[in-house]
Structure 1
Amino acid sequence: MTDPTADRRRGRLVPAAVVLLLLSGCAGESPAQTADPSSSAVSAAPATTAPSPTAAPTPPAPEPSAAPESLPPVLPESAPVSVRIPAVGASSELLHLGLRPDGSLEVPPTRPGAPASWYTSSPTPGERGPAVLLGHVNATNGGPGVFGGLRSLAPGDTVEIAREDGSTAVFVVDRGEQYAKDAFPTRAVYGNTAGAELRLITCDGYDPATGLFDDNYVVYATLAA
């Protein structure tokens, strides 16, 4: 298959098949917490295997880019090293994961509190466009995973990402949204943006009857001025 980073560098949307793979890897163990699964304390189980490709809607066509002089300032390309979310006491090294030869998404290891990962076909955090970080919400030891506190984030909270060039990209949380996996808003999450933005994605909506997570939780954040 062609190198998926090519589309990232041209500022295009992530292909729909890749989007679905990113969203489908949560199943298995029940949430570590015993609270109502709809509460902010709910955790999602880590993926132990890569999901199988499934048909997905065709992504919308890229929108025209704004004139350069009207675009917000961004940082130069530099791969991320680690993420820190002070408001929920979360921190993690960042793995750099892409696609396996069969087109399935590489997933973080399932050791307790598995590290988060940066999806390498998205912009580096601080570049123009939506950088994508994924993390488990449950750990294999029954506790919370690295993104176990995403639902507790509020507008104005910060996400700090250390980069290989020694800089730190600081993002400010705008909002968090829960989406059914079969009605995921591809353009809103993965579409082109005028400035540097961040998406933190994990699973939500645990169904004890099936042992699966029907939803995703997405935190939207924007690079601090």
Structure 2
Amino acid sequence: MTAQQSPQPNSNPSRTTPASRPVGRGLLWSAGAFLLGSLLVYNSVDTSADPKPPSHHTVASSATPRPSAAAAVPDLALPRSAPKRVSIPTIAVDAPFTPLTIGPTGQLDAPPAGDKNLVGWYKDGATPGERGSAIIAGHVDTKTGPAVFLQLEALKPGALINITREDGMVASFKVDSIETYSKAKFPSDQVYADAPTAQLRVITCGGAYDRKVKDYVDNIVVFAHLASYRHV
């Protein structure tokens, strides 16, 4: 189903959002309202180089992520608090966050491509550690070289993703699976669905790079659940 509108923030926001990652280009994601149907993920090239909006594709559910172990501990969750920094020791990630919002074109703006070590989070969805599906995303590389999620695809189930929050808590997420989805058949209903437990989705690009459209053909999505938390 084609996305109809951008997700709308509220006091208990719907935990749905899109994200992606191109090489040498700015990052944009199309957003749709999950309650109205599926939410699409799209990439686009740098608008300064190609002003055309990204083409829209039909969503198809082509794979199902492995069940999260968080189902065994449904009460393990934190109150809402914005993230400050993410650390993924096994792939040497240590980066600050920037909030992402829906732009005037109805797309989710990406982290600035000029800062290679920056991760974005969808601020109108769940915050990491809060009950729901928190969405974070970042570049794999830019015009100037490798970026923060260059090695994201190398993560293995069981790896830890540690997110330091503004309330002084460190939420530790355990990776459940690492999936590769074609952007033309991206299962947004699986990736962006709300969750009764504290979940995390980490999204970037992957697969081959299509030089004609200046974009990657796949998305890499890491599924993780809140495994523990502690005060700094």
Same fold at TM > 0.5: yes
CA 1:193 to 1:94, structure 2 compared with 1: closer, same or farther past 3 Å? same
CA 1:135 to 1:187, structure 2 compared with 1: closer, same or farther past 3 Å? same
CA 1:58 to 1:86, structure 2 compared with 1: closer, same or farther past 3 Å? closer
| CA positional deviation for 1:104 | 2.0
Which residues in structure 2 correspond to 1:146-225 (within 5 Å)? 146-210=148-212, 211-225=214-228
1:24 aligns with 2:42: yes
| CA positional deviation for 1:138 | 0.8
C-alpha distance after superposition, 1:12-53 (max 9, x if no partner): 65599515997323657xxxxxxxxxxxxxxxxxx9989547
Which residues in structure 2 correspond to 1:27-42 (within 5 Å)? 27=45
Please identify which structure carries the higher strand content.
2
CA distance in structure 2 between the aligned counterparts of 1:161 and 1:77, rounded to whole angstroms: 13
- Select 1:4's aligned residue among 5, 8, 17: 8
Aligned length: 195
Residue 96 of structure 1: aligned partner: 99
SS class of match (1:224):
strand
RMSD: 3.2
Please identify which structure carries the higher helix content.
1
TM-score, normalised relative to structure 2: 0.72
C-alpha distance after superposition, 1:67-123 (max 9, x if no partner): xxx833210000111111011111111000111123122111111524110011220
CA distance in structure 2 between the aligned counterparts of 1:95 and 1:49, rounded to whole angstroms: 24
Does the Cα contact within 8 Å between 2:84 and 2:164 map onto a contact in 1?
yes
Does the Cα contact within 8 Å between 2:90 and 2:155 map onto a contact in 1?
yes
C-alpha distance after superposition, 1:109-149 (max 9, x if no partner): 1115241100112200001111000100013322x210111
Residue 86 of structure 1: aligned partner: 89
Does the Cα contact within 8 Å between 2:206 and 2:216 map onto a contact in 1?
yes
| CA positional deviation for 1:3 | 7.0
TM-score, normalised relative to structure 1: 0.74
Unaligned stretches of 5+ residues in structure 1: 29-46, 60-69
SS class of match (1:75):
coil
Residue 107 of structure 1: aligned partner: 110
SS class of match (2:164):
strand
Unaligned stretches of 5+ residues in structure 2: 19-28, 33-37, 62-72
